[in-house]
Amino acid sequence: MSQLRYITLRERPELEKEAANWFHSKWGVPEEAYLECMDAYLKGETEYGWYLCLDGEKIAAGMGVIENDFHDHKELAPNVCAVYTEKEYRNQGIAGKLLDLTVEDQRSKGISPIYLVTDHVGFYERYGWEFFCEAMGDGEDVPCRLLIHR
């Protein structure tokens, strides 16, 4: 039976390079972009954090918080980004627990509300997110949903 642990990257900073590579492999955003954001977080330059679910030493799921997640509402910050759960770990509530950890960690630092862009309908709402407005993703021609967690 797997032993899942939910952590901030500050709890395991040695995972930075592995985590940046893992996120890059899921989203295609350059690894350097993840490392830049993670470095700022680990150095205390920002409280916009990075959150992981570990199964032993394997990354099962993760997400981050950044200023803007590639959409046209630059005034709506910060944004949860790079939400991903490995296929074999889906439908177990892992993403929901990570979302809750992320929201609570940000709130504990005085950061609220936070935003998230998605095409999903219904999933995030189960965890207290609400539709806020439509947003245009950078380079996209169809609007996506921008959600808020207050």
- Helical H runs in the chain? 16-27, 31-42, 94-108
Confidence at residue 2, expressed as pLDDT on a 0 to 100 scale: 67
Q: Could you tell me if 108 and 136 are in contact, meaning their C-beta atoms sit under 8 angstroms apart? A: no
Q: What is the pLDDT of residues 112-128, one digit of tens each?
A: 999 999 999 999 999 99
Confidence at residue 94, expressed as pLDDT on a 0 to 100 scale: 97
The one-letter code for the residue type at 69 is D
Confidence at residue 140, expressed as pLDDT on a 0 to 100 scale: 87
Q: How confident is the model at residue 63 (pLDDT cuts 50, 70, 90)?
A: very high
Q: What is the DSSP letter of 1?
A: -
Q: What is the pLDDT of residues 14-59, one digit of tens each?
A: 999 999 999 999 999 999 999 999 999 999 999 999 999 999 999 9
Does the structural domain 4-111 have CATH classification 1.10.4160.10? no
What residue spans define the domains of the chain? 4-111
Q: pTM for this structure?
A: 0.94
> CA–CA separation, 61 vs 51, rounded Å?
8
